[in-house]
Amino acid sequence: MVTTQMKPIVFGAKGTRLSNAEAAFYAEHRPAGFIIFRRNVEDPDQLRALIAEMKRAADNPGALVLIDQEGGRVARLRPPHWREYPRGAEYGRLWRLDPTLAGEAAFLGGRLIAEDLQALGINVDCLPVLDVPVAGASNVIGDRAYGTDPAIVMALGRAAAEGLAEGGVIPIVKHIPGHGRAMADSHLELPIVDATRSMLRTHDFAPFRALNDLPLAMSAHVIYTAYDPAAPATTSPKVVQEVIRGEIGFRGLLVSDDLSMKALSGDYAGRRAASLAAGCDLVLHCNGEMAEMEPVAQGCPALDPAIAKRLDAMVAAARAGRKPIDRGQAEARLAELLAIGR
């Protein structure tokens, strides 16, 4: 169970086993969660053991354990131990042939991913991607998106989220309030979007508004000059309150994108403080570098009791909501759907 002694941070780890230094660090700072990357993965037994180590070190058996398992080029779990899943654009291709079947496929993709994650002790997937790319935008989103029409993105994003939830895994919508118009990759530099409020409301924000009832969202390290020309959404109180909480109406918990991305500036303590002050409920630090994790954790306030209760309820509801599945039947049906029009 998450407690108020936890800190509102989700940390990564450096390798496939915890070092003594990492275990001691987690024990001291007790992060609310962890995130898994490809560097942490060898095989199912090893990964289950690593996740168990993380939870023990933080004394948090109900910790959030996140992963980016979208399908396509963003997948931390890969063959031979796990199946490949389609990129978002593949579901969009099917939508153009038959929207109903595309929705079924996106649901099954999410449901099967959840089955993989549940078997490992992972309870959060950073999916669905609700960004809507525009012509000329950075390829950092590209074919990860379900399409370039907000209506398609919101429908397929909803289907994928429902598939995850039926498998007992919590979805995270990303990257709120929209990364599809960014002309730069926020991993490498700070994107600046000069679109008008009207354009953003009708295009970029629309999928997030349609899925504003989901429990978790990940922020975009993007400046929207129409709202705040000085700070990216993650560290902008104006964007978080006026746009994410206001115009979009998101009422779930807001998680920052990775604090180590180059779109953010300043020292790591400052990035964490600015993100929390802007209205993020949790901050994410992914790369496992102790020299960066220490300043993120040092001086960080404890997890707010109200947020702790919501996390507890979220994890319990996900576990209770899991429904059985005939995996073989689901895999066969997904393959059948994806073959349509090929």
DSSP string, 141-185: TGGGSS-SSHHHHHHHHHHHHHHHHHTT-EEEEEEET--TT-SS-
Question: What is the Cα–Cα distance from 156 to 138, expressed in whole angstroms?
Answer: 22
pLDDT number for residue 4 = 45
Token pair of 59 as six digits: 């004394």
Q: Is 179 an annotated catalytic residue?
A: no
Task: Answer whether residue 252 is part of any domain.
Answer: yes
Domain with residue 168: its CATH number is: 3.20.20.300
Task: Answer whether residue 2 is part of any domain.
Answer: no
In terms of DSSP bridges, do strands 216-219 and 31-36 run parallel, antiparallel, or are they unpaired? unpaired
User: Which pTM does this prediction carry?
Assistant: 0.95
For residue 6, what pLDDT band results from cuts at 50, 70 and 90? Answer: very high
> What sections of 85-241 are H helices per DSSP?
88-97, 99-118, 150-166, 197-199, 206-210, 237-238
Q: What does the mean pLDDT of the chain come to?
A: 96
For residue 283, what pLDDT band results from cuts at 50, 70 and 90? Answer: very high
pLDDT digits (tens, 9 = 90+) for 55-81: 999 999 999 999 999 999 999 999 999
Task: Answer whether residue 191 is part of any domain.
Answer: yes
pLDDT digits (tens, 9 = 90+) for 303-338: 999 999 999 999 999 999 999 999 999 999 999 999
Task: Answer whether residue 213 is part of any domain.
Answer: yes
The H-or-E segment that residue 283 falls in is: strand 282-285
Question: What is the Cα–Cα distance from 161 to 220, expressed in whole angstroms?
Answer: 19
Question: What is the Cα–Cα distance from 244 to 113, expressed in whole angstroms?
Answer: 28
In this prediction, residues 230-258 reach a mean pLDDT of 98
Token pair of 258 as six digits: 């990775």
Catalytically annotated residue among 149, 187, 304, 312? 187
Name the residue among 76, 79, 112 with its Cα closest to residue 338: 112
For residue 291, what pLDDT band results from cuts at 50, 70 and 90? Answer: very high
Task: Answer whether residue 57 is part of any domain.
Answer: no
In this prediction, residues 240-268 reach a mean pLDDT of 97
Report residue 327 CA to chain centroid gap: 24
Question: What is the Cα–Cα distance from 103 to 76, expressed in whole angstroms?
Answer: 24
Task: Answer whether residue 63 is part of any domain.
Answer: no
Contacts of 246 (CB under 8 A, 6+ apart): none
pLDDT number for residue 244 = 98
| pLDDT at position 43 over 50 | yes
| pLDDT at position 1 over 70 | no
For residue 269, what pLDDT band results from cuts at 50, 70 and 90? Answer: very high
Token pair of 11 as six digits: 């940390």
Q: Which residue range(s) make up the domain with 249? A: 36-50+68-288+317-338
Task: Answer whether residue 55 is part of any domain.
Answer: no
Task: Answer whether residue 323 is part of any domain.
Answer: yes
Question: What is the Cα–Cα distance from 185 to 319, expressed in whole angstroms?
Answer: 35
| pLDDT at position 2 over 70 | no
Token pair of 146 as six digits: 């379900």
Secondary structure of 34-74 in the HEC alphabet? Answer: EEECHHHCCCHHHHHHHHHHHHHHHCCCCCEEEECEEECCE
pLDDT digits (tens, 9 = 90+) for 95-130: 999 999 999 999 999 999 999 999 999 999 999 999
pLDDT number for residue 185 = 84
Q: What backbone phi and psi angles, to 5 degrees, belong to 124?
A: -140, 130
For the chain, give the percent of residues with pLDDT over 70: 99
Q: Is 187 an annotated catalytic residue?
A: yes
Domain count, the chain: 1
Catalytically annotated residue among 116, 125, 257, 258? 257
